[in-house]
Amino acid sequence: MENNRGQWGSTFGFIMAAVGSAVGLGNIWGFPYKCGANGGGAFVLVYLILVISVGVTTMLGELAIGRKTGRGAVGAYTSLSKKYTWIGYMGVASGFIIVGFYSVLGGIVLRYMLGFLMNLLGMSGFPAEGFFGAWIANMPGMLLFYAIFMIINIVIVMGGISGGIEKFSKIAMPALFAMLLIIIVYVACQPGAAEGYKYMWIPDFNYLFSNFFTVLKVAAGQMFFSLSLGMGCMITYGSYLSKSENLVRNSLIIPFSDTTVALMSGMCILPACAAYGMEYAGGPGLLFNTMQTVFTQGMGGTIGNIMGFMFYLLVLIAAITSSISLLEVCTAYLIDKRIEKGKDPQRVKMTVIMAVIAFVVGLPTALDGLGTNVAGGAWMNNPAEMFGLPVMTATADWLDFYDFLAEGVLMPLGAMIMSILIGWVFGTKKLIGEEVEVSAAKFTGAKFFDICFKFVVPVIMAIVLVAQITSFLG
Ligand code: PHE
């Protein structure tokens, strides 16, 4: 059965794949803009505390459930008890929703990378200004790049665990890291960059105390999205781990690496904004508007094109290694079902089926012009207009609508229920004894793990859930 499902080929390969899942648009886009808009250093401080208390424990919990049951999200919860199957379905639903909009965004990133590449080759890759607004209303272009990005996902996931996902991540992740480092060093040499570091590293406690709940909510939401938690992704990746892997060590390495890349990307983007006189708090426009201007006009010339090309290539890699993990959550569901029935997994076919469904689910995100609607040249209206709903963040465009469903509701709910299950129903002692300690020495953090699962994670997740819902509906 094990071999039929697939298994990671090496510890390094697994770590690259899991870090690849974690490091994504959330790190390179979400982290810097949320940090920029929520107090800089104050945000970083709260974020770090959350990673240590909630992130590491939840990671360990998910990997342990996955390896113990040897199943993807749905199968894993069913193995624990039939009563919990629905929690697994919530995960697969999040997978479809996120992989759809994620791939639309990935397609845009791909277009930017090609733009800079063409500039480098002496062709005109794109207009230096106003490109983003025009591009998101260019329906055939958006569709084409969305489709290309989805096909890249299919090709990798089709290759299987060690032959596809691991193989790609082992090369792509070190490359991403190297490119990010090069850009950071270049940016650090620009006059004026220091302001960006100061903003990011010196916490303003006055700001923190007067905005504590907002900072907590944004940081916590960002943290578990960034670590790919709460929707069965790490359960699925854990299910391909061999019993000889040390789960505790991996549960430290993955969040540590993910956080390092988030901080590095902050140290690339915030000082770059400072050096070239751009807004930190540019919000979602940061990745596409602000950064394009940084490269084309701030840095300018050939160096701007080289840095721009490298930057969007690394964002592309980050996006691909995350979206393949999302597609894998969906694919693993079908594969587990087939194996249960004693059938051949047929990974290639199952991958294509799930990717096609995900593509259809994600289509509205590509077709509403990210909220510009039919009036702005898009082919579809936003959820508010289509369904006659009041205009709120969650209905203003399909991207926000899906983000609300997945990141706002399903994921915090999933993480909360999982922690309650582990903490109160299943018991951390049992999980530790039966899974965590099978391949490693005595787990010294058992007490901490127990308290986190019983109290810290459920409470933080409940806060996130309530806060997300109120802010999206606001
Ligand atoms: N962690 C990814 C990011 O930061 C997103 C993701 C969420 C991937 C959930 C898989 C599962 O962009």
Nearest CA, atom 7, ligand 1:
228
Across 192-216, average pLDDT: 92
**Residue 254 has what pLDDT?**
98
| Number of alpha carbons in the 13 Å side-chain half-sphere of residue 221 | 26
Q: Are 184 and 28 in contact (CB under 8 A)?
A: no
Q: Over the stretch 343-355, which tens digit does the pLDDT of each residue have? A: 999 999 999 999 9
What letters, b where the CB count within 10 A reaches 16 and e where it falls short, cover 197-209? bebbeebbeebbe
Q: Which atom of ligand 1 is nearest to the CA of 29?
A: 12
User: Which atom of ligand 1 is least distant from the CA of 95?
Assistant: 11
Whole-prediction pTM: 0.95
Q: What is the pLDDT of residue 2?
A: 44
Ligand 1 centre distance from Cα of residue 329 (Å): 12
Total Cβ atoms within 10 A of residue 363: 17
Task: Work out the pLDDT band at 10, boundaries 50, 70, 90.
Answer: very high
User: Residue 435 in contact with residue 446, Cβ under 8 Å?
Assistant: no
Q: In this structure, which amino acid lies at residue 211?
A: N
Backbone phi, then psi, for 9, in 5-degree steps? -80, -30
C-beta of 410 in contact with ligand 1 (< 6 A) = no
Sequence letter at residue 266: G
CA 208 – CA 205 distance, rounded (Å): 5
Adjacent-strand bridge partners of 203:
40
Measured in angstroms, how far is the CA atom of residue 315 from the centroid of ligand 1? Answer: 13
CA atoms within 13 A on the CB side of 416: 18
- pLDDT above 70 (res 87): yes
114 pLDDT tier (thresholds 50, 70, 90): very high
Question: Does 322 contact ligand 1 (Cβ within 6 A)?
Answer: yes
Distance 342 CA to ligand 1 centre (A): 32
109 lines ligand 1 (CB under 6 A): no
Q: How far is the CA of 83 from the centre of ligand 1 (A)?
A: 27
pLDDT at 311: 97
Distance 213 CA to ligand 1 centre (A): 23
> What backbone torsions phi and psi does residue 203 show, to the nearest 5 degrees?
-70, 135
Q: Is 222 in the pocket of ligand 1 (CB under 6 A)?
A: no
The rounded distance, in Å, linking the Cα atoms of 355 and 348 is: 11
State how far the Cα of 172 lies from the Cα of 20, in Å rounded to an integer: 8
Looking at residue 370, the DSSP 8-state letter turns out to be: G
Q: Among the residues of 163-211, which ranges form H helices?
A: 167-188, 194-201, 205-210
Distance CA 107, CA 140 (A): 12
pLDDT digits (tens, 9 = 90+) for 383-411: 999 999 988 888 989 999 999 999 889 99
Digit-coded pLDDT (tens) for 302-321: 999 999 999 999 999 999 99
Closest CA to 165 of 236, 110, 224, 77: 236
Token pair listed for 470: 């109120």
For the CA of 227, the nearest atom of ligand 1 = 1
H or E segment and range at residue 378: none
Exposed/middle/buried for residue 339 (C-beta within 10 Å: 0-12, 13-18, 19+): middle
Place of tokens 């290639």: 348
Question: Rounded to the nearest 5°, which phi and psi values hold at 123?
Answer: -95, 165
Residue 1 confidence (pLDDT) above 90: no
Report the chain's mean pLDDT, rounded to a whole number. 93
What secondary structure letter does DSSP report for 242? -
Buried b (16+ CB within 10 A) or exposed e, 369-395: bbbbbeeeebbbbbbbbeeeeeebebb
pLDDT on residue 283? 67
CA 322 to ligand 1 centroid distance, Å: 6
Residue of 31, 226, 228 with the most ligand 1 atoms within 8 Å of its CB, for mutation: 228
